[in-house]
Structure 1
Amino acid sequence: MDNLPRIALLGTFVGRGRERQVGEICAAQGAFYTLAAPATGTAASEVLQVLGIGETSRTLTLSLVPAPLIPRLRQELRDRLFMTQPGQGILFTVPLSGINARSARWLSQGMDGKPVEILALTNRGCSDEVLAAARLAGATGGTLLHTRMLGGQEADRFLGIQLQKEKELVAILAKGEYKVPIMQTIADKAGLQTPAETVVLSLPVDSMEGLR
């Protein structure tokens, strides 16, 4: 597998306009790339304060990071963005259970059999192609986010391609037995070797309800 490192997903919810600083910090600390998508909070103001979000207009950032770098990066974000203070945002990390990289070779980190959240990062205008491929393998649907790259100098080395700045992120919740078929079908029909240049990764889910 070309000695690919263990990978984790680091996410933040920060006030609108602070995402560029998140991207700069993540890039400086060795993140492969960082994506940003606008988000709007719906919770009451007192709940937002408890959660550490001082405003409803905010940005979701997602960074792919070598797992050994996570502790240092979390500390850097906490210190420079004052995340230990109320209202300055939320930071979270999630291990990956799989990803396609470098000519669609697979990095799998166990956790098979459990429900998964499959994230497909594709070029603008290619989300329908991704969803069509996923449905062929048993997916029932997905959620679409429009994102932009905040930093991706390391993506060329990691993925073997040069990612476009504007991307679409398709999120698909699936039962564990559908994880590999869905990811493989997306990679085959809309993967890194196609015009869609889709990066597919999966996150473990502890439990889920309502999915047939």
Structure 2
Amino acid sequence: MSELYLMVTITERTAVKKFHTLYGHHGADVAFITVGNGTAVSDTLDYLGLEETEKAVMLSVVTGSVWKEIKSDLQKHLKIDVPGTGIAFIIPLSSIGGKKPLLFLTENQNFEKGEESSLKDTKYELLIVIANQGYTNMVMDAAREVEEVGGTVIHARGTGLERAEKYLGVSLVAEKEMVFIVVKSGMKNLVMKNIMEKAGPASKARAVAFSLPVTSTAGMRLMEEAKDDND
């Protein structure tokens, strides 16, 4: 996949609407939003002009050209370089599970699908699966049919989901759960395929999934040993 990224935005919860509105002007109005708290010490907060308030974390899929436009507007219109406004960054995606979810996530961004991207020598990938609330077990059961993996669940709210019926043939509820699963690179496609078949848009989970390359890990010794035993 060429020039497709996960855009991560961290800002004050009260600022989500203006960020989302700006992103919508560039066709990136499908977003998944969760909340968090900053952990910086007071001296750092003072230096950056930040307060210890709840933060919003927004996740969107964007093309490289759309990111350039968004970055320019963030600097010009939202003054994101001013301390305390927020931060935004992108991470390259390696794949999205299925053509219809791809169209749903990238509509209005003039994205043309190319070859699946990859980074050299990456042993693992991070799968991010976004499903209707209450169906994470369905997602994990599908993943574990292929490989013994664990997952971490985060509650989120979806926006810009009105187009789901056009591409996915179903309506989507706003309340979402995001499941983060680290899998071996060689098993990624099989795990993602099974998740989409068992917990995808045709199921009650209505899941969409995409993957990001992981360049280095710690704490994966048991998975490494299991691989060595199978070789």
How far apart, in 2, do the equivalents of 1:81 and 1:44 lie?
25
* 1:81-160 equivalence runs, <5 A: 81-102=78-99, 109-111=116-118, 114=122, 115-153=124-162, 155-157=164-166, 159=168
Distance 1:172 1:40, change over 3 A: same
Distance 1:7 1:134 in 2: 24
- Equivalent residue for 1:35? 32
- TM-score using structure 2 length: 0.79
Q: Which residue of 2 aligns with 1:205?
A: 214
Cα distance in 1, alignment partners of residues 177 and 43 from structure 2? 32
* Alpha-carbon shift at residue 156 of structure 1 (Å): 4.9
Alpha-carbon distance, 1:54 to partner: 4.0
Superposition pairs of residues 7-86 of structure 1, within 5 angstroms: 7-31=4-28, 33-48=30-45, 53-86=50-83
Return 5+ residue gaps in structure 1 as ranges: none
Q: How many residues align?
A: 209
The amino acid of 2:116's aligned partner reads Q
More helix by share: 2
Task: Quote how far apart the aligned CAs of 1:79 are.
Answer: 2.7
Report if the CA contact (8 A) 1:148-1:167 is conserved. Answer: yes
Following TM superposition, by how much is the alpha carbon of 1:131 offset from its aligned partner in structure 2, in angstroms?
A: 1.3
Q: Given the two structures, how large is their TM-score scaled by the length of structure 1? A: 0.85
Higher percent of residues as strand: 1
Amino acid at match of 1:63: S
Whole-angstrom CA distance in 2 between matches of 1:6 and 1:161: 28
Conserved? CA contact 1:32–1:64, under 8 Å: no
2:125, 2:46 → 1: CA distance?
30
Provide the identity percentage.
31
Instruction: Report if aligned partners of 2:101, 2:167 keep a CA contact under 8 Å in 1.
Output: no
CA contact (8 A) 2:100 2:167 kept: no
Tell me how far 1:152 sits from its aligned partner: 3.5
Q: In the aligned structure 1, how far is the partner of 2:168 from the partner of 2:63? A: 13
The answer as to whether partners of 1:31 and 1:154 remain within 8 angstroms in 2 is no
Instruction: Give the residue type in structure 1 aligned to 2:27.
Output: G
Please provide the CA RMSD for this pair: 2.7
Structure 2 unpaired stretches of 5+? 104-112, 224-231
Report the more deviating stretch, 83-92 or 143-152. Answer: 143-152
Aligned residue for 2:189?
A: 180
For the pair shown, which has the larger CA radius of gyration, 1 or 2?
2
